[in-house]
Amino acid sequence: WIDAEWSFDKTWATLLGVDVDKLVLVKPEYGEQVIDITEGLVGADDLGVLVLDSIASMVPLAEIKGEADRMQVGGNSMIVGRFCRKVLMAMGTASKDGNYPTVLLVNQMRFKVGQMHGNPESPPGGQALRHFSNMIIRTYGKDEIVKEVNPNVPSHKKITISMFKYKSPITAKTAEFRMALLPHAGNPVGHVDYWNTVMAYAKNFGYIAKSGSKWIFNEHEYPTLKEIQT
């Protein structure tokens, strides 16, 4: 885990199921260091998944050492483009040795100021990520309050995932699930509602179908989805 934002929370990661004892945590000091570290790690034969958090935090060394009022045009975009090219070549070399690491790049979304027409969204890092990525996944989160659990604090977060650019085969372009922020309905903090997730995929793949007011599962009719779950 390359923590370029210096924001990694060990306690929260543990709640989400991360084995922090096996996690290699790296805290780079500037963008060029991120490139060198990632290129070296991708070439290791014992690396499975590498996460960079985040693209927007890859600040060039010249910007860090320069004066605050000095204009840096395209600094982040140039360093991200260099990152994509070097890491892609390193992954190609690793594949020749039978290693296929997964590189996950976390990014945020920005909005262009004063744009009246078109999509004002602009991801940091320029356009290089669009061309080099095998898959781009957009996530949208919304906190929801359940009064029976806690009337003031959100009990879970509704998360919607959409995949809109990919070079790899996928089974679905959208998904939706709810992650518990407070323990309730049998779900600990950080866990998702498994039934809703399973039900959504079952309907997408045709395992569960609706006929009139009834649901059909395994050639049997049920009045409600709750009976299928039971």
Q: Is the pLDDT of residue 1 over 70?
A: yes
Residues of the chain with pLDDT > 90: what percent?
38
CA distance linking residue 188 with residue 183, whole number of Å: 5
CA distance linking residue 121 with residue 125, whole number of Å: 13
Residues of the chain with pLDDT > 70: what percent?
98
pLDDT of residue 128: 86
pLDDT tens for 156-195 read 998 888 887 778 777 667 878 888 999 988 888 888 877 7
Longest Cα–Cα distance of the chain, Å, equals 71
Which of 82-86, 107-111, 114-118 bottoms out in mean pLDDT, i.e. has the lowest? 114-118
Tell me the mean pLDDT in the region 143-149. 91
pLDDT of residue 8: 94
The answer to whether the CB of 165 falls within 8 A of the CB of 140 is no
DSSP the chain: -EETTS---HHHHHHTT--TTT---B--SSHHHHHHHHHHHHT-TT--EEEEE-GGG---HHHHHS-TTS--TTHHHHHHHHHHHHHHHHHHHHHHTT---EEEEE---EE-TT--SS--EE-TTTTHHHHH-SEEEEEEEEEE--TTT-SSS--EEEEEEEEEEESS--S-SEEEEEEESS-BTTBPTT-B-HHHHHHHHHHHTTSEEEETTEEEETTEEESSHHHHH-
- The listed range with the strongest mean pLDDT (30-34, 190-194, 209-213, 221-225) is 30-34
Q: What is the pTM of this model?
A: 0.76
Query: Residue type at 88?
Result: L
Tell me the mean pLDDT in the region 91-113. 91
Tell me the mean pLDDT in the region 80-89. 93
Tell me the mean pLDDT in the region 213-219. 84
Q: Is the pLDDT of residue 205 over 90?
A: no
CA distance linking residue 148 with residue 154, whole number of Å: 11
pLDDT of residue 115: 83
